[in-house]
Amino acid sequence: MRYQSVRLKTYVRGQGFPVLCLHGHPGSGASMSVFTNHLSNRFQTLAPDLRGYGKSRFNRDFDMYDHLTDLENLLEQHQIQKCLVLGWSLGGILAMELALRFPERVSGLVLIATSARPRGSHPPISLQDNIYTGIAGLLNMVKPGWRWNIETFAKKSLFRYLVGQHTPSTYKYIASNAVPAYLQTSRAATRALFNAIGRGYNKLPDLHQIECPCLVLAGTEDRHITVESSLETANNLKNAEFKRYLNTAHLFPWEIPQEVLSDIDSWLLQHPYIFENKGI
């Protein structure tokens, strides 16, 4: 069953050319602050809670493609005719889908820890993994970035597959952004994503249609969407630059934020035409 678009809770910051920032799963618009805090100094950033995430509540079953209807409605609400789209994980998948569906509206893509044919290498999850993850997460909420907790529990938990560099600053991001987002992610949103992946989601054959410049960034130790999967996507895009970050995993923007933001800035300087004819 199809539903009408959902009005998304959206965090809007700054002024200028619009940059649409799309979070992953689980996630929220607030979890994109590592990007929006920086980019909003020069651009207008829009970071929505996708349907079923954060404060965009929706508990009925829906299809992953319904996110695109919501995002089209969001662009219309803000009278955005053209924008740069930055997407992390699921957000990157949706960014590519937007570029395929509305090529005239997407002037560039920044794709982070994502793939048009997502493949992972995550080992089986044990009972100890879940117990240690719960303890590490709770202690990190109480005392964000506590080194004893990182060494005693986090490195032995599922966080070891999300993070390559277990620094206090990374765990502070997890406490302030990841845990709240996880708690606000609906079962319907989880089903929508897993159903799409279960059907063998693969948009590689369509990527040649994307003409805009793309920046693809990946962590070498990512077990959720492998670096090889991200590289495959970059190789199938017409106009893509690819960079991998050593000893980082799926949450690498929280591990090495300054390096990632610097690379995005450099890429944007090399492609000034992305910001032409913004139409707002």
Residue type, 194: F
Helix (H, G, I), strand (E, B) or coil at 73: helix
The pLDDT of residue 2:
52
Backbone φ and ψ of 246, nearest 5°: -70, 145
Question: What would the two tokens of residue 253 be?
Answer: 């923007």
DSSP 205-260: GGGGG--S-EEEEEETT-SSS-HHHHHHHHHHSTTEEEEEETT--TTHHHHSHHHH
What's the pLDDT score for residue 180? 87
Check residue 153 and give its pLDDT. Answer: 97
pLDDT at 1: 46
Tokens of 99: 């570029």
Kindly report whether the peptide bond that precedes residue 26 is cis, defined as omega within 30 degrees of 0.
yes
Judging by beta carbons within 10 Å of its beta carbon (0-12, 13-18, 19+), is residue 152 exposed, middle or buried?
A: middle
Distance CA 166, CA 206 (A): 37
pLDDT at 183: 87
Q: Round the average pLDDT of the chain to a whole number and report it.
A: 94
Residues of the chain with pLDDT under 50: 1, 278-280
